[in-house]
Amino acid sequence: MNEVIVSILGVAQDGGIPQAGCNCKRCLSAHENLDLRKFPVSCGVIGIDDSFHMIEVSRQLSEQLKLASDIFGPNFPVKPDSVIITHGHLGHIDGLGLFGKEVMGVNDVPLISSEKVINLLSKRGLVESFICREISPNTKIEPTPDCGFSVEFLKVPHRDEETDTHAIIIRGPKKSLLFLPDHDSWDETFRETGTKDIRDFLHKIRVDIALIDGTFWDENELKNRKMDKIPHPTISESLELLGKKRINDPEIYFIHLNHTNPANDETSIQRKKIDSMGWGVVLQGSIFSI
pLDDT in tens, 66-123: 999 988 886 777 789 999 999 998 899 999 999 998 999 998 999 999 999 999 999 9
Going along the chain, which residue ranges are E strands? 5-10, 42-46, 52-55, 82-84, 109-113, 130-134, 140-141, 150-155, 166-171, 176-180, 209-213, 251-255, 280-281, 287-289
Amino acid code (one letter) for 101:
K
pLDDT score for 86: 97
CATH topology of domain 5-289: Metallo-beta-lactamase; Chain A (3.60.15)
Structure confidence at residue 226 (pLDDT): 63
Burial of 198 (0-12, 13-18, 19+ CB in 10 A): buried
Give the Cα separation of 125 and 286 in Å (integer).
Answer: 33
pLDDT for res 228:
62
Sites in the chain below the pLDDT cut of 50: none
What are the residues whose beta carbons fall under 8 Å from the beta carbon of 206, sequence distance 6 or more? 176
d(CA 229, CA 259) in angstroms, rounded, equals 17
Residues forming beta bridges with residue 176, ordered by sequence position: 171
Residue 4: per-residue pLDDT: 96
Please report, for the chain, the start and end positions of each structural domain, with discontinuous segments joined by +.
5-289
Between CA 254 and CA 8 the distance in angstroms is 12
Residues in the chain: 290
Whether 97 contacts 59, CB under 8 Å: no
DSSP 8-state class, residue 146: T
**Total Cβ atoms within 10 A of residue 71:** 17
